[in-house]
Amino acid sequence: MADEKDRTAVAPAPKAKVSWLDKIAPGVRKMVSRHTGFAGNLWIKDPNSGEMVYRPDLEQSLWVTPSGGHMRIGPAQRFAYTFDDGAFERLPAPETPDDPLQFTDDKPYRERLAAARKAAGDKDVMSIAVGKIGGIETVVLVQNFGFMGGSLGTAAGEGFIAAAEAAAARKAPMVVFTAAGGARMQEGALSLMQMARTTLAIQTLKQAHLPYIVVLTDPTTGGVTASYAMLGDVHLAEPGALIGFAGRRVIEQTIRQTLPPDFQRSEFLLDKGMVDKVVARKDLPGVLAAILRVLTAGRTRAA
């Protein structure tokens, strides 16, 4: 379903003005501006620093603000920024039943899902694509925080499993960009089960000696962190991303004290030994390529 949209996104950038962005990821600017290029809203407020940033500048800088804030981005931008030449092919996410529990809070879950789908143009939080990173064919899975907080439910779990299976079938590494508030409460214990199901899928990659790389993006918390986000062969994180198990407010209520501002940020996890490297968005493709090049060349590489 998203296939056509992305094929147009892969079209080469106009030759006229070749910026650094066009060199590393042609098509990005066009695609991003197509998604967001409507009149008004030329200035965007950085949610962290409060500064107003000129939208075309943000697009140029991969949605990183002048002060270094890494703004949240969706799968289309992520794929374009990650794959060589911004070229990739979307893989379908499996069909899953909607609303298995017939859940209703203030609003029926079905209505929330429908609204999220309309807003995001995707069926659920997981988008899968295959393409090359540093010349190495790689399956990339992007979790979209913009879709119901990236929450992990049945569809997300199946998306993860499908991505791992696609990687195994192609004997390709898998890279996942995580972003989620946690499990999708509207699917109850079925969401909880995704922690185990995604962990099983990772074993398929491990047995095949295929690299499984996690890139933690803002925010990654709850059951997502406590499963596939912490089981990578290598853990990278974007600067300043919130990463943790329990939410900040819950912890503050438990220990009855205020947490330091850097608590549960990427740099904190680096310091505590849970993340290998904090990498700026523009450097991610290069770092991923360097890691994949070595890991796919070991003596136990997939035959």
Partner 1 sequence: MTDQRHYLDFERPVADLETRIEELSAPLAAAADAEASGVELQALRNAAHDIRARLYRRLDPWQKTQVARHPERPHFTDYAAGLIEDFVELRGDRKFADDQAIVGGLGRFRGQGVVVMGHEKGDDTNSRLTHNFGMARPEGYRKAVRLMDLAEQFGLPVLSFVDTAGAYPGMDAEERGQSEAIARSTERGLTLKAPFVATITGEGGSGGAIALAAANKVLILEHSIYSVISPEGCASILWRDSARAKDAAEAMKITAQDLLKLKIVDRIVPEPAGGAHSDPQAAVKAVGDAIEEELQALMTLSPDELLRQRAERFYAIGRARSGAL
Nearer to partner 1, 25 or 205 (CB): 205
Q: Which is nearer to partner 1, 62 or 230 (CB)?
A: 230
Taking CB under 8 A as the criterion, the residue among 17, 20, 41, 106 binding partner 1 is 106
Q: Which amino acid is at 71?
A: M
Residue whose CB is less far from partner 1, 67 or 207: 207
Contact flag: residue 273 with partner 1 (CB under 8 A): yes
Asked if 202 is part of the footprint of partner 1 (rule: CB under 8 A), the reply reads yes
CA proximity to 79, closest of 161, 141, 159: 141
Min CB(115)–partner 1 separation in Å: 15
Q: Per CB under 8 A, does 192 bind partner 1?
A: yes
200 or 294: CB nearest partner 1: 200
Q: How far is residue 41's CA from residue 91's CA, in Å, rounded to a whole number?
A: 32
> Which of 65, 82, 225, 266 contacts partner 1 by CB under 8 A?
225
Q: Does 169 bind partner 1 (CB under 8 A)?
A: no
For the chain, the DSSP string reads --HHHHHHHTSPPPSSS--HHHHHSTTHHHHHHHHH--SS--EEE-TTT--EEEHHHHHHTTTB-TT--B----HHHHHHHHSGGG-EEEEPPPP--S-TT--BSSSBHHHHHHHHHHHHSSSSSEEEEEEEETTEEEEEEEE-TTTGGG-B-HHHHHHHHHHHHHHHHHT--EEEEEEESSB-GGGHHHHHHHHHHHHHHHHHHHHTT--EEEEEEEEEETTTTTTGGG--SEEEE-TT-BEESS-HHHHHHHHTSPPPTTTTBHHHHHHHTS-SEE--GGGHHHHHHHHHHHHTTSTT---
Residue 104 Cβ, how far from partner 1 at the closest point, in Å?
6
Nearest-angstrom CA–CA distance, 75 and 57? 20
Q: Which of 26, 74, 150, 222 binds partner 1 (CB under 8 A)?
A: 222
| Residue span 33-62 as binding mask against partner 1, x where in contact by CB under 8 A, dash where not | ------------------------------
For residue 154, state whether it binds partner 1 (rule: CB under 8 A): yes
Beta carbon nearer to partner 1, 208 or 274:
274
**Per rule CB under 8 A, is residue 242 in the interface with partner 1?**
no
Q: CA 242, CA 267: separation in Å to the nearest integer?
A: 10
Q: How far is the CB of 108 from partner 1 (least distance, A)?
A: 10
According to the binding rule CB under 8 A, does residue 165 interact with partner 1?
Answer: no
Total residues at the site for partner 1 (CB under 8 A)? Answer: 53
Residue 244 binds to partner 1 (criterion: CB under 8 A): yes
Stretch that binds partner 1, among 133-141, 166-174, 225-233, 293-301 (CB under 8 A): 225-233
* Residue numbers at the binding site for partner 1 (CB under 8 A): 96-97, 100-106, 154, 157-158, 161, 183, 185-193, 195-197, 199-200, 202-203, 222-223, 225-231, 244-247, 250-251, 254-255, 259, 263-264, 272-274
